[in-house]
Amino acid sequence: MGVVSLFGTAAELPEAWRSRVLGEVGAACVKVLRMDALPLEEEVHGTTEVLLVLDGRLELTVEGVDATVGPGEMYVVTAGARHAVRAGSQGTLVIMEAREEE
Protein backbone atom coordinates (compact mmCIF):
# COMPACT_ATOMS: atom_id res chain seq x y z
CA MET A 1 0.00 0.00 0.00
CA GLY A 2 2.87 2.43 0.63
CA VAL A 3 2.68 5.72 2.48
CA VAL A 4 -0.73 6.70 3.89
CA SER A 5 -1.52 10.19 5.15
CA LEU A 6 -3.49 9.62 8.35
CA PHE A 7 -4.53 13.26 8.60
CA GLY A 8 -5.46 13.42 4.91
CA THR A 9 -7.46 10.19 5.05
CA ALA A 10 -9.35 11.32 8.17
CA ALA A 11 -10.10 14.72 6.61
CA GLU A 12 -11.52 13.07 3.48
CA LEU A 13 -13.96 10.83 5.37
CA PRO A 14 -17.58 11.78 4.61
CA GLU A 15 -18.58 11.90 8.30
CA ALA A 16 -16.99 12.07 11.72
CA TRP A 17 -16.84 8.87 13.78
CA ARG A 18 -16.95 6.68 10.65
CA SER A 19 -13.62 4.92 10.48
CA ARG A 20 -11.74 3.65 7.44
CA VAL A 21 -9.64 0.48 7.62
CA LEU A 22 -6.11 1.30 6.50
CA GLY A 23 -4.57 -2.13 6.79
CA GLU A 24 -4.39 -5.40 8.67
CA VAL A 25 -1.67 -7.01 10.73
CA GLY A 26 -2.51 -10.62 11.50
CA ALA A 27 -5.99 -10.67 13.01
CA ALA A 28 -5.88 -6.94 13.85
CA CYS A 29 -6.90 -4.00 11.74
CA VAL A 30 -5.75 -0.38 11.84
CA LYS A 31 -8.39 2.30 11.31
CA VAL A 32 -8.44 6.10 11.28
CA LEU A 33 -11.30 8.49 11.98
CA ARG A 34 -12.10 12.11 12.60
CA MET A 35 -13.68 13.14 15.92
CA ASP A 36 -16.14 16.06 15.91
CA ALA A 37 -16.70 17.06 19.58
CA LEU A 38 -20.05 15.21 19.81
CA PRO A 39 -20.47 12.39 22.34
CA LEU A 40 -20.97 8.73 21.45
CA GLU A 41 -23.13 6.30 23.39
CA GLU A 42 -21.62 3.63 25.60
CA GLU A 43 -20.51 0.45 23.84
CA VAL A 44 -18.79 -2.84 24.60
CA HIS A 45 -16.55 -4.89 22.29
CA GLY A 46 -15.59 -8.55 22.49
CA THR A 47 -11.95 -7.70 21.73
CA THR A 48 -9.41 -5.25 23.13
CA GLU A 49 -8.93 -2.01 21.20
CA VAL A 50 -6.12 0.53 21.28
CA LEU A 51 -7.12 4.18 20.82
CA LEU A 52 -4.23 6.42 19.70
CA VAL A 53 -4.81 10.18 19.51
CA LEU A 54 -2.77 11.86 16.76
CA ASP A 55 -4.05 15.38 17.37
CA GLY A 56 -6.77 16.94 19.49
CA ARG A 57 -8.08 14.98 22.45
CA LEU A 58 -10.30 12.02 23.24
CA GLU A 59 -12.62 12.34 26.25
CA LEU A 60 -13.47 8.81 27.42
CA THR A 61 -15.45 7.23 30.20
CA VAL A 62 -14.36 3.62 30.75
CA GLU A 63 -16.18 1.53 33.35
CA GLY A 64 -17.42 4.76 34.94
CA VAL A 65 -13.98 6.41 35.15
CA ASP A 66 -13.24 9.54 33.08
CA ALA A 67 -9.98 9.82 31.14
CA THR A 68 -8.60 12.42 28.75
CA VAL A 69 -6.22 11.12 26.06
CA GLY A 70 -4.07 13.77 24.39
CA PRO A 71 -1.88 13.96 21.28
CA GLY A 72 0.67 11.18 21.15
CA GLU A 73 -1.11 9.23 23.91
CA MET A 74 -3.07 6.02 23.70
CA TYR A 75 -5.66 4.24 25.79
CA VAL A 76 -6.13 0.46 25.81
CA VAL A 77 -9.78 -0.52 26.26
CA THR A 78 -9.86 -4.15 27.34
CA ALA A 79 -12.36 -6.59 25.88
CA GLY A 80 -15.72 -6.37 27.63
CA ALA A 81 -15.11 -2.90 29.15
CA ARG A 82 -18.05 -0.48 28.91
CA HIS A 83 -16.84 2.76 27.35
CA ALA A 84 -18.29 5.96 25.92
CA VAL A 85 -16.92 9.08 24.27
CA ARG A 86 -17.77 12.32 26.06
CA ALA A 87 -18.51 15.65 24.40
CA GLY A 88 -15.41 17.66 23.51
CA SER A 89 -13.49 14.88 21.77
CA GLN A 90 -11.97 16.28 18.59
CA GLY A 91 -9.09 15.62 16.23
CA THR A 92 -7.72 12.50 14.58
CA LEU A 93 -7.90 9.04 16.14
CA VAL A 94 -6.27 5.75 15.13
CA ILE A 95 -7.93 2.55 16.34
CA MET A 96 -6.18 -0.81 16.40
CA GLU A 97 -8.36 -3.81 17.14
CA ALA A 98 -8.82 -7.46 16.35
CA ARG A 99 -11.79 -8.21 14.16
CA GLU A 100 -14.65 -9.69 16.15
CA GLU A 101 -15.97 -13.07 15.10
CA GLU A 102 -19.45 -12.84 13.56
Q: What pLDDT digit, counting tens, does each position of 19-42 carry?
A: 999 999 888 999 999 999 999 999
Domain count, the chain: 1
Mean pLDDT computed over 8-14: 93
Neighbours of 69 (CB within 10 A): 19
Whether the predicted pLDDT of 91 surpasses 80: yes
In a domain, 65, yes or no: yes
In a domain, 53, yes or no: yes
Whether the predicted pLDDT of 102 surpasses 80: no
In a domain, 1, yes or no: no
In a domain, 37, yes or no: yes
In a domain, 39, yes or no: yes
Instruction: Give me the chain's average pLDDT, please.
Output: 93
Whole-angstrom distance, CA of residue 20 vs CA of residue 31: 5
pLDDT of 42: 96
CATH number at residue 15: 2.60.120.10
Q: Which domain holds residue 70?
A: 6-98
8 and 22 Cβ atoms separated by less than 8 Å: no
In a domain, 90, yes or no: yes
